[in-house]
Structure 1
Amino acid sequence: MSAVEPGATAPSAPETLSQVDKPRRRLSVVRVLLGVVLVVALSSGGYLGWQWWGSAQAADAYDPWFAGYVDVTATPTYDFEASAERAGSDVVLSFIVADAEEPCTPSWGTYYTLDEAADELDLDRRLARVTQLDGQVVVSFGGLLNTELGTGCTDTTKLTAAYAAVLDRYDVTTIDLDLEGENLTDSAAAKRRATAIAELQADRRGAGDDLAVWLTLPVGTFGLTEDGTDAVTAMLDAKVDLAGVNLMTMDYGSSKDADETMAEASIRAVTAAHGQIGTLYSRAGTELTDATVWSKIGMTPMAGQNDVPDEVFDLDDARAVNAFAKEQKIGRMSLWSLNRDTTCGSNYADLTRVSDSCSGIDQGDETFVGVLGKGFTGRPVTAAASVTTDEAKDIESIIDDPDTSPYSIWAEESSYLEGTKVVWHRNVYQTKWWTRGDLPDNPVLNEWETPWVLIGPVMPGETPIPKPTLPAGTYPTWDGTAIYEKGTLILFDGVPYESKWWNQGESPDAAAADPDGSPWSVLADAEVEKLLEALPQ
């Protein structure tokens, strides 16, 4: 995940999980209420949403897991094999990278081959102890500051063998591909990596073994970067069955608003990425329900002080993120890092300088593991057995019922003025500008590509919201024979309308279906409410 070297300028754009020179590592990585979640929903559109309907598959298979990252080569050494907390017993070991001299040979941070790590770090023995204590291990490849195997090893056959050597050595069923920096932007490497992983996954599954593949990617409050969406696309094009996309919810830089908490920024980022991931699957030919997409999302905040000096992820942020993650039912929660999940000692003077062994904040008796891991009771090995299936039939089976919808059902032939609300696929959408024929849930990668903003789901028991009416006599009742000048106010079934231009015989009833062509516009609810308040009681 991301790091800032001594004397360097903090990043202004989203960064990530990292690894630096061995003796000293510079590591990166309740106030959120319903209103915050609503604001997040209002900021996004297209595929993004809370579909009230969900996937039965996702609900049945949902078994979220927590595992914190451990920097294997950091000093002082972190005793991950002896966690006192249940949530801390499953670990993501980082980072396997290309050997500096032999790029098709896996190494731990370029410092140790797999055999050297067994000898000098006692790694194999410590992992055996994890198993004895009922812990589970995930291995992470990549990181920010070294060369990931797929980037360094240009022979796909040797690359596949390198990944397989790590899986066999540590007997893991879940891997994490942490792609950052040049490892993320190298398109040739992306293709090689995806080809190798697809072959490896197919071979393992063909032999009856599980292999879950997670992509860990940087994220801004706007969602995934273009390089990030390209990385997901490369995997899907190669037919890799991704377990999910783990989002590095940290180091937002300039994409974070000054008055946002880290929890609010993280919720905004993950909600935007949710829409992007659903769209990427749709473009790859696999339709997934909202619920399934949420189950394919992971979150990895950075404990305490982030690399960006003004960004501090505290325990209140952790509680808010945990509540959001459980509400949306994301599939995975992680932490950068277990090494840092403790209050700094009194001899650590500059708390704004990121430490590799403490968080930079006063944690009291609490841990980030304990807060973030609450409710994540699943295990990586169990989740690794999940297989992604197309859910187009589930989506197509959704029928919008006018009798149980608060607003009119979207229709392709209708035009909609700015601010109009409609129901589509059991969700409420609102227009950002005039539109006709644009599907409210049309898959888009960025919110500016759609005229629709998702407000939220149609709630159980809802019925059509009646238009506010005014008492008879407040304005004249519409008369088909009368002539109306621009600005004339009338009542039609008690609902007030204003004439947009001269007209005669044009029924206000057509205004809802054809707001552009109708000479009548209904008065806004707020205006009607003001008029009602002004009327004598």
Structure 2
Amino acid sequence: MSRTPRQRTPRQRTPRQGRHPGKRLSPLRVLLGLAVVIIVAAGAIAVPWYLTKENPAIAETAGPQWFGGYFDVTAADVSASPTAGVGNDDTVVLGFIVAASATECAPSWGTYYSLSEAGSQLDLDRRIDGMRRDGSHVAVSFGGALNQELAVVCDTASALTQAYTRVLDRYSITTIDLDLEGEGLEDVEAGARRARAVVALQRQQKASGTALDVWVTLPTTPTGLTDSGVAAVRQLLDAGVELAGVNVMTMDYGVDLGQATMAETSIQALNGVHDQLTSLYRSLRVPLPAAGAWAVMGATPMIGQNDERDEVFTLDDAAALSDFAREKELARISMWSINRDRTCGPNYPDVSIVSDSCSGVAQGGETFAGILSAGYHDAPSDAAATAAATPLPDDPETSPYPIWSPDAAYSHDVRVVWHGYVYAAKWWVSGGPQPDDPTQTADSTSWVLVGPVLREDEPFTLPTVPAGTYQEWQAGEVYQKGARVVVDGVPFEAKWWTQAEDPMEGVTDHDRSPWKLVE
């Protein structure tokens, strides 16, 4: 049912007098009033946001304070230990992973070795395992001054992520160092790919229950980072990379330093970088620890003679920089490089020419690592830390190298297995003592411990050729240089005139045996 609406008689109203008699609110004035109310309400929100922007939240804690020298993987043979030296036991930064070539998006060690080649020729996997068993944290550095950085060569972020992941997975890495120089620093598009790839890596690691610490290492001027350096940090932070810190290369300034020492110049540069990072983090509203930008900074001098002829970083410079680092509580101290932390020998005539193997300054009984590492004994967490395990039994059928024998001769860098560990000869040696003889000092022993035999090792095998390829070796026959023979199918070539010398001795004696393997 429906109702008929009741009819109402309009009532007469007397106009109300307001504060301003005779004035009525027009629709326009009503709209203006509403606008004012909205602006005032918005201001109540905008002011706190502005204050937050100018004063970003403080991170709860700073990261560990650690020392870690760089170890140039391709500049040292297998008998050189990355942890041989005071101060080098906590963290080792292995460098450098670069693109295999200017057109190949594949990780390599300095373009010289693929990851698998470094495993077989440098025993790098085993050495990393050995370092961890000794309590060292192992980090990997991508980039460097030479060759092509992966982000420059890999044309997509996905391909770059895969290349990075191969390295992380192979070596179980939880700390990476992005050493950006030259084209790797200046190429903005490569920087964008790098930032996206690193974000993906950190997400992958987080999903697997581990963290990935990411450091970016940059060149500096005496007054601070270059514009490109600041832009590189901004690009990483903008993309969402959780940076562990910014490592400053306090070296190779290439300008007249006047009367300033290398330490004084480095400290001036670090002060400049501190101010730059403080401003940058604040502008991006990225929180810093309570200690400020110092807590996300590192310093890396080039010890001794720098690439710039007039720049020499002395032991006194190291002491001054170390004092400054402890005073400011820098998060990290490094050095280039562990390989160079020793006095050059007497046969190296011009120490002003940079050597990969010595510092170029007289060190006496001191090491740069020992000075720079003072007070820095933390290490980043290492999910891949390896506990000591029961050595595997020596078995010729499964051993990755020949089992040591007192009756064989071994040339420099030849590797053997003994009591479940791999050793490398420091020089030509034959006979005892055994490689693991506990009475031998580091100077007197002919062997250096490389690392344990791993369960995943491939067994050592010699090359063979089909039957009839070469004649069988005969002890009574004379062989001229270049002659080829086989022993049980293994091919050998004579290096000079020989008679009655067993070719099999050439497997381990590359110096004095007249025979060499035909690979």
TM-score bracket for this pair, using the shorter chain length? 0.5 to 0.7
Matched, 1:212 2:213: yes
Name the counterpart of 2:98. Answer: 97
Name the counterpart of 1:463. Answer: none
**Residues paired across the two proteins, number:** 330
Identity %: 51
Name the counterpart of 2:128. Answer: 127
Would the aligned equivalents of 1:89 and 1:130 in 2 still touch at CA under 8 Å? no
> CA 1:258 to 1:201, structure 2 compared with 1: closer, same or farther past 3 Å?
same
Residues 207-245 of structure 1: per-residue CA shift (max 9 Å, x gap): 321101000000011100011011101101100010000
Output the amino acid matched with 1:104: C
What is the Cα deviation at residue 205 of structure 1? 1.4
Name the counterpart of 1:74. Answer: 75
SS at the partner of 2:301? coil
Name the counterpart of 1:161. Answer: 162
d(CA) in 2 for partners of 1:191, 1:243: 19
What is the Cα deviation at residue 83 of structure 1? 2.3
Higher relative contact order (CA 8 A, sep 6+): 1
Name the counterpart of 1:347. Answer: 347
Max Rg structure: 2
> CA 1:383 to 1:249, structure 2 compared with 1: closer, same or farther past 3 Å?
farther
Name the counterpart of 1:234. Answer: 235
Residues 329-372 of structure 1: per-residue CA shift (max 9 Å, x gap): 00000010000000000000001100110000000000000000
Output the amino acid matched with 1:100: S
SS at the partner of 2:317? helix
Name the counterpart of 1:376. Answer: 376
Name the counterpart of 2:312. Answer: 312
Would the aligned equivalents of 2:61 and 2:290 in 1 still touch at CA under 8 Å? no
> CA 1:258 to 1:84, structure 2 compared with 1: closer, same or farther past 3 Å?
closer
> CA 1:89 to 1:331, structure 2 compared with 1: closer, same or farther past 3 Å?
closer
Per the normalisation by structure 2, the TM-score is: 0.61
Compute the RMSD of aligned alpha carbons: 2.2
Name the counterpart of 1:85. Answer: 86
Would the aligned equivalents of 1:63 and 1:383 in 2 still touch at CA under 8 Å? no
Q: In the TM superposition, what are the counterparts of 1:39-438 in structure 2 within 5 Å?
A: 61=62, 63-76=64-77, 79-100=80-101, 103-254=104-255, 257-288=257-288, 291-381=291-381
> Can you give the 5+ residue segments of structure 1 that lack an aligned partner in the other structure?
1-53, 385-537
Residues 166-208 of structure 1: per-residue CA shift (max 9 Å, x gap): 0111111100000000110000000000011011112211332
d(CA) in 2 for partners of 1:237, 1:127: 34
What is the Cα deviation at residue 91 of structure 1? 0.6
d(CA) in 2 for partners of 1:379, 1:61: 13
Residues 392-450 of structure 1: per-residue CA shift (max 9 Å, x gap): xxxxxxxxxxxxxxxxxxxxxxxxxxxxxxxxxxxxxxxxxxxxxxxxxxxxxxxxxxx
SS at the partner of 1:380? coil
d(CA) in 1 for partners of 2:293, 2:266: 17
Output the amino acid matched with 1:267: I
d(CA) in 1 for partners of 2:57, 2:135: 30
Would the aligned equivalents of 2:65 and 2:378 in 1 still touch at CA under 8 Å? yes
> CA 1:55 to 1:91, structure 2 compared with 1: closer, same or farther past 3 Å?
farther
d(CA) in 2 for partners of 1:211, 1:62: 12
> CA 1:63 to 1:89, structure 2 compared with 1: closer, same or farther past 3 Å?
closer
Output the amino acid matched with 2:348: Y
What is the Cα deviation at residue 380 of structure 1? 2.1
SS at the partner of 1:330? coil
d(CA) in 1 for partners of 2:234, 2:126: 38
> CA 1:56 to 1:195, structure 2 compared with 1: closer, same or farther past 3 Å?
closer
> CA 1:229 to 1:82, structure 2 compared with 1: closer, same or farther past 3 Å?
closer
Would the aligned equivalents of 1:184 and 1:190 in 2 still touch at CA under 8 Å? yes
d(CA) in 2 for partners of 1:206, 1:85: 37
What is the Cα deviation at residue 59 of structure 1? 8.6
> CA 1:164 to 1:179, structure 2 compared with 1: closer, same or farther past 3 Å?
same
What is the Cα deviation at residue 155 of structure 1? 1.8
What is the Cα deviation at residue 257 of structure 1? 2.7
d(CA) in 2 for partners of 1:224, 1:110: 28
> CA 1:137 to 1:165, structure 2 compared with 1: closer, same or farther past 3 Å?
same
What is the Cα deviation at residue 275 of structure 1? 0.8
Would the aligned equivalents of 1:81 and 1:89 in 2 still touch at CA under 8 Å? no
Residues 101-152 of structure 1: per-residue CA shift (max 9 Å, x gap): 6522100001111001001111111111101111110000001111111111
Output the amino acid matched with 2:321: V
> CA 1:88 to 1:133, structure 2 compared with 1: closer, same or farther past 3 Å?
closer
What is the Cα deviation at residue 84 of structure 1? 4.4
The farther-off stretch of 373-382 and 225-234 is 373-382
d(CA) in 2 for partners of 1:78, 1:214: 29
Output the amino acid matched with 2:374: K
SS at the partner of 2:291? helix
The farther-off stretch of 154-163 and 264-273 is 154-163
SS at the partner of 1:376? coil
